[in-house]
Amino acid sequence: MDEKIKPLLANYLIAIGDDELILGHRDSEWCGHAPILEEDIAFANISLDEIGHARLWFELAASLLGEDPKTFPDQLAFYRDWDKFRSIQMAALPKGDWAFTMLRQFFFDSFENLRLEGLAESAYPPIAQAAAKIRNEEVYHLRHTAAWVPRLGLGTQESGRRMQTALEALWPFALQLGVPLAGESELAAQGLVPAADALRHKWLEIMGNAMQEAGLAIPEIGVPAVVDRSVQSEDLRQLLLEMQEVPRQHPREVRW
Amino acid sequence: MGAPGLRGLCQTPGSPGGIAVNMSDTQWPRFMVFQQMEAGQAFVHQGTVHAPDIELALLNGRDVFVRRPNANAMFVVPADLILSKTEEEIKSGWEPGNPETGGEAQAYLVFGKLNHAMQSEQLGDVQAVSPQDAMKKALQKFTDRVVHMWWVFPAGAVLASGDKDLDSMFKPVLEHGFKNQANYPVITMMRQIKSKGKLED
């Protein structure tokens, strides 16, 4: 691979890994607090899966950057300042109610499944292999959230109202999923990652149908609330203060 | 994406013999979860989940019971559709009341608890016109082992995972490195930190 491409690809992987890590952390906040025991366990599973995916992408980024894949993921997760994260702002939004959490997860899982389909065809074999592995779990996440969204949307008046409220709050942030990542067109031209435009169009079409089936109306907003992934939110800063607190207080002292 | 059926939270599951849900009860109905560890092995009862309908019961069953150990297949059935008889009930002269009344003959799955320390496992199936009839036929058919508790329920009321679900429902767990709690001697570690101010290498 061209030496100039390596850092671009590594940054792409770190960005999608950041999405997984931050969303996984938010999902973990439901542990012990979900509305029913079975869903509590299901979301703890999803949370662990997402954080595991982040680690896989960070390990691949490490090998591209000549870093140690054993230590680099922890470096990125626990010793990186909040303004260096490249996650979408939707991932860091406070967990809200169950409708909000379920819909956010559904938006993310649907987009991620499309991206993983593309990454499974990557010209860089380690990415194709990781994508195939991650996809098995994401297919299941999507089945879970795709089952819940229409049930909540059409369930009771209250569940439908909460879902519509969540949709209106989330939609402008969800649109950031479709914004091309830095260097994405160059990486796509080399067959390393899927083209952002095609992903976005397909995702919007699927979301349109899914929201209609769930009795929900997508707000007429076409512009993402935020475009640039280097612009991070106070929500992320607060999340990292908590997530990074223990490792930063005891660097290298605690074995996990 | 598999389009989910657009069922409300409290509607009757669409499977044959689906149960009606009591709308005034805030607890979801119960489903029994059965798991097959390896291809070819008998299905074994794993436990119970609550779910608003049978599709989510299957997903909940996977999430609650498959994280470990491994599984090859799983099915769920509404708990209310299981006819259950203990060894004592059978010995004290249980007789099926009007077992022949019912609809067309259909397949019933037969599960038996063979050991007090073990979960019920599948013994086989029978063709019967009613749960009572199925129990009677099961007692006549499976006579070679001591069964402490019998369960029969219609095969048509079951929702099972399919071959296409293997990769997404059951395989990922095999690649997860689960942390063994024995590797985390927390009490020893805390003693070291308290006495020496840090962990020994």
pLDDT tens per residue across span B159-171: 999 888 888 888 8
Indicate whether B140 belongs to any domain: yes
Specify if A126 maps to a domain: yes
Residue B20 lies in a domain: yes
Beta carbons of B114 and B145 less than 8 angstroms apart: yes
- Do A136 and B172 lie within an 8 Å CB cutoff? yes
Residue B166 domain boundaries: 16-196
Distance from the B7 Cα atom to the nearest Cα atom in chain A, whole angstroms:
6
CA–CA gap between residue A174 and residue A105 (Å, rounded): 10
Domain contains A25: yes
The CATH number covering residue A87 comes to 1.20.1260.10
Do A253 and B55 count as a contact with CB atoms less than 8 A apart? no
Number of structural domains found in chain A: 1
Distance of alpha carbon B199 from alpha carbon B185, whole angstroms: 12
Number of Cβ within 10 Å of residue A3's Cβ equals: 6
pLDDT tens digits along B27-58 = 899 999 999 988 899 999 999 999 999 999 99
Q: Residues in chain B with pLDDT < 70?
A: 1-26, 67-69, 99, 102, 177-180, 201
Which residue of B11, B50, B54, B60 to mutate against A (max A Cβ within 10 Å)? B60
Nearest residue in chain A measured CA to CA from B55: A147
Q: What is the pTM assigned to this prediction?
A: 0.87
The shortest C-alpha distance from A235 to chain B (Å) reads: 29
Residue B7 included in any domain: no
3-class SS of residue B31 = strand
In a domain, A75, yes or no: yes
Measured CA to CA, the distance from residue B39 to residue B71 in angstroms comes to 9
Which chain B residues have a beta carbon less than 8 Å from that of A206? 1
A60 lies in a domain? yes
Asked whether residue A255 is domain-assigned, the answer is: no
All residues of chain A having their beta carbon less than 8 Å from the beta carbon of residue B1 are: 110, 113, 142, 146, 206, 210
Total number of domains constituting chain B: 1
B156 occurs within a structural domain: yes
Domain membership of residue A254 (yes or no) is no
How many angstroms separate the CA atoms of A140 and A137, rounded? 5
CA distance B174 to chain A (A): 12
- Are A46 and A141 in contact by the 8 Å Cβ rule? The answer is yes
CA distance B116 to A77: 48
**Does any domain span residue A46?**
yes
d(Cα A25, Cα A18) in Å, to the nearest integer? 10
Domain span holding position A29: 5-216+224-249
Tell me, yes or no, whether A36 lies in a domain: yes
B4 in a structural domain: no
Min distance B77 CA to chain A CA atoms (Å): 16
Residue A141: closest CA among chain B residues belongs to which residue? Answer: B168
In a domain, B178, yes or no: yes
Task: Give ipTM to 2 decimals.
Answer: 0.89
Q: How many CB pairs under 8 A join A and B?
A: 82
> Inter-chain contact B6–A150, Cβ cutoff 8 Å?
yes
- The sheet that has B83-86: what strands, in order across it? B83-86, B149-154, B106-113, B121-128, B44-50, B30-36, B73-78, B159-160
Taking the C-alpha atoms of A229, A234, A237 and A238 in order, what is their torsion angle to the nearest 10 degrees?
Answer: -140
How far from the centroid of its chain's Cα atoms is residue B131's Cα? 18
pLDDT digits (tens, 9 = 90+) for A96-134: 999 999 999 999 999 999 999 999 999 999 999 999 999
Which residues are CB-contacts of A251 (< 8 A; sequence separation ≥ 6)? A79
User: Would you state the torsion angle of the CA atoms of residues B37, B39, B42, B45, taken in this order, to the nearest 10 degrees?
Assistant: 30
Summarize the confidence of residues A154-171 as an average pLDDT: 97
A121 reaches B (C-beta below 8 A)? no
Q: Please answer whether residues B120 and B153 qualify as being in contact, where contact means their C-beta atoms are separated by less than 8 angstroms.
A: no
